[in-house]
Amino acid sequence: MGRFADKVALVLGAGSVGPGFGNGKATALLFAREGAKVFGVDRDADALAETASVIAAESGSFESHIANVTERAGLDRLVLACLDRHGRIDVLVNNVGGSAPGDPVSMADEVWNRQLDMNLSYVFHSCKRVIPIMVGQGGGAIVNLASIAALRFFGPDVVAYAAAKAALIQFSRVTAVRYAPKNVRINTVIPGLMNTPLVKARLVHERGSGDAEKLIAARHRQVPMGRMGDGFDVAEAVLFLASDAAKYITATELVVDGGLSATCVAPGAG
């Protein structure tokens, strides 16, 4: 029996942008390995199908739901679908997010708004829908994914992403304190530079002039441990905070960055 046997884990952002394991795909797989009934959500049907295939190969429990979580109607439907299928939600993982380059002068208004929707507002709306369910069933655990961009400037400018992730951390703290008496725990995982499919799928074109290996090597050098982490490093932190091993932990953050945010480094390939 795993740590999450008979529990239902709703994972938003359960796909991956390319071959390999991003944070969401790794998280969904580890929950399934630990006995959870995973209800995985992503807007990319192919990415979600790949996650489902990997979990099915290990005989895990996974149900796919295609949705854009930044749309409130889509959130309503996916929460109801999870309840209709399983009758409860024990864990909510808010893993959707992404950065767009720009500072307050160069960034278009619509990009700013989309960044807030993608990295902050949808978490407000998912919590608004799921917390009452958890309260009604006697408790639950929510884990939100932020970024060290909320803590330090590592470059290049990602002003909306950094602001949204910083706000997400405080949103998580305040909401956690509000619902602690109801046995709903809310914590945040803060990843650093991670070697996930996102690097080659998008960041290399934004920050590495198309040279993936050069960008990856530069990111490795920035980290005190000498290497980036991966999706499973983040997933293990998520599982810990959602598990009974963390039953007395709420309103806090777990930084997964190889020591990077504790250093003073020159802006570079972050």
Residues recognised as catalytic: 161
Which of 1, 3, 55 lies closest to 25 in space, CA to CA? Answer: 55
Burial of 143 (0-12, 13-18, 19+ CB in 10 A): buried
What's the CA dihedral at 11, 26, 250, 171 to 10 degrees?
-60
Please give the Cα distance from 210 to 146 (Å, whole number).
26
- The one-character DSSP state at 102 is B
**And the tokens for 32?**
């399934």
Identity of the residue numbered 187: N
| Ramachandran angles phi, psi of 216, nearest 5° | -60, -45
In this structure, what DSSP letter does residue 15 have? S
| Nearest C-alpha neighbor of 136 from the set 83, 74, 78, 61 | 83
Q: Are 262 and 150 in contact (CB under 8 A)?
A: no
Beta strand 140-145 with 253-256: parallel, antiparallel or unpaired? Answer: unpaired
Detail the DSSP E strand segments found in the chain.
8-12, 37-42, 61-66, 91-94, 140-145, 184-191, 253-256
How far is residue 222's CA from residue 266's CA, in Å, rounded to a whole number?
9
